[in-house]
Amino acid sequence: MKDIKILTDSTVQLSHEEQEQYGITVIPLSAMLNNVMYYDNQTISKAEFLQMMNNSAVLPKTSQPAVGQYVELYNQLGKDGSEILSIHVAGYLSGTYSAALQASHLTKSKVTVIDSETVDRAMAFQVLAAAKMAQNHATMDEILTELDRIKEKSALYVGIVNLENLIKGGRIGRILGRVSTMLNMKIMLKVTSKGLEPETKGRGLKSLKKKVNEIIEEMNQFEVIEQIGITHVGLTDFTEEIIADLKAAFPSATFHIAYASPTLMTHAGKGAFAVMYQAR
């Protein structure tokens, strides 16, 4: 049986230890700020990027890896005859999946490319499961079946605390953005297989706290919550409060708390946070 190697992109939320332990290759997305190109987790730390972004009047410009970068990696990973499973951020969020798919037709290696339909630590749930199964010599079909199960048992919510980056990026109308900002508007979005769906919109942090409480109620409907991910664009007192609530509600879950990737920081804006879980 041929080995299966796992490749993903840097919008995933993985520790360096996880990448090394499970042999996961991560291709970086990039962000240009003040005419300098930075690569996720390679040429700048997340904390440094956040500080630079907050001090910049111009929104960073993000971009996915070029098709040629994928081809080069696929050729390298597959030169020993291994198959490759390439798992990527939701196609509607980035052109990363599309570039990977194009590259899979240009390499001599055998590559299966899938759209995770999510991002961040929720994507890591799939990537880690695939890597562990590959180490245990599971087949590609077995891995893909398990990833479908994980998708059904996972959820990702994003709290937007400051609309400035969404406005700069043109993702919401500028007029609506100015009015919403004046009204101290906060938004909770759910990342689904079809797109970003607004879950709640209200004035002040109380509206977000109410939604987080509803998410905890949703999680309580499952027999077991195995993993919980919290990512942030700078820890705030509010985010710390949410983390404490989740730890109190699910003390047996494995927690992963980290800065969001520079690419996600750029779009979500300062103070944003994400809550994601995987249930059994």
Q: Indicate whether 79 belongs to any domain.
A: yes
Residues 146, 8 share a domain? yes
Q: Indicate whether 15 belongs to any domain.
A: yes
pLDDT at position 46 over 50: yes
Q: Cα dihedral angle (100, 158, 238, 279), rounded to 10 degrees?
A: -90
**How far is residue 140 from each of residues 78, 126, 212, measured CA to CA in Å?**
15, 13, 36
Q: How many C-beta atoms surround the C-beta of residue 145 within 10 A? A: 12
Contact 212, 244 (CB under 8 A): no
**How far is residue 110 from each of residues 69, 103, 137, 155, measured CA to CA in Å?**
16, 11, 17, 30
Please give the full DSSP string across 187-242, using - where no structure is assigned: EEEEE-SS-EEEEEEEESHHHHHHHHHHHHHHHTTSS-EEEEEEEESS--HHHHHH
CATH of the domain at 200: 3.30.1180.10
The beta-carbon contacts of 197-206 under 8 Å, at least 24 apart in sequence, are: 199/157, 205/161, 205/238
Contacts of 70 (CB under 8 A, 6+ apart): 27, 86, 99, 100, 102, 103, 104, 107
Q: Indicate whether 195 belongs to any domain.
A: yes
Residues 111, 202 share a domain? no
Contacts of 112 (CB under 8 A, 6+ apart): 83, 84, 85, 86, 104, 140, 144
CA distance 252 to 225: 8
pLDDT tens digit sequence for 142-168: 999 999 999 999 999 999 988 777 766
Residues 21, 124 share a domain? yes
Residues 84, 10 share a domain? yes
pLDDT tens digit sequence for 5-36: 999 999 999 999 999 999 999 999 988 888 88
Residues 170, 80 share a domain? no
CATH of the domain at 83: 3.40.50.10170
Residues 129, 71 share a domain? yes
Boundary of a domain, candidates 114, 135, 152: 152
Residue 175 confidence (pLDDT): 44
Structural domain of 139 = 4-29+64-152
Nearest to 33 by CA among 57, 68, 3: 57
User: Residue 170 burial (CB < 10 Å; 0-12/13-18/19+)?
Assistant: exposed
Residue 179 confidence (pLDDT): 52
CA distance 174 to 176: 5
Percent of the chain at pLDDT exceeding 90: 67
Residues 81, 18 share a domain? yes
Boundary of a domain, candidates 122, 152, 182: 152
Please give the full DSSP string across 113-179, using - where no structure is assigned: EEE-SS-HHHHHHHHHHHHHHHHTT--HHHHHHHHHHHHHTEEEEEEE---HHHHHTTSS-HHHHHH
Residues 24, 144 share a domain? yes
Q: Cα dihedral angle (32, 236, 188, 225), rounded to 10 degrees?
A: 110
CA distance 133 to 6: 10
Residues 18, 92 share a domain? yes
Residues 225, 161 share a domain? yes
Would you place residue 56 in the very low, low, confident or very high pLDDT band (cuts 50, 70, 90)?
Answer: confident
Residues 206, 85 share a domain? no
> Which comes out higher in pLDDT, residue 272 or 62?
272
Q: Indicate whether 16 belongs to any domain.
A: yes
Provide the β-strand partners of residue 196. 191
Q: Indicate whether 80 belongs to any domain.
A: yes
Would you place residue 183 in the very low, low, confident or very high pLDDT band (cuts 50, 70, 90)?
Answer: low
Q: Indicate whether 50 belongs to any domain.
A: no
Whole-model pTM?
A: 0.92
What domain count does the chain have? 2
Q: Indicate whether 139 belongs to any domain.
A: yes
CA distance 171 to 168: 8
Boundary of a domain, candidates 103, 130, 152: 152
- The tokens 């040629």 sit on which residue? 68
Q: Indicate whether 274 belongs to any domain.
A: yes
pLDDT at position 127 over 80: yes
Residues 158, 274 share a domain? yes
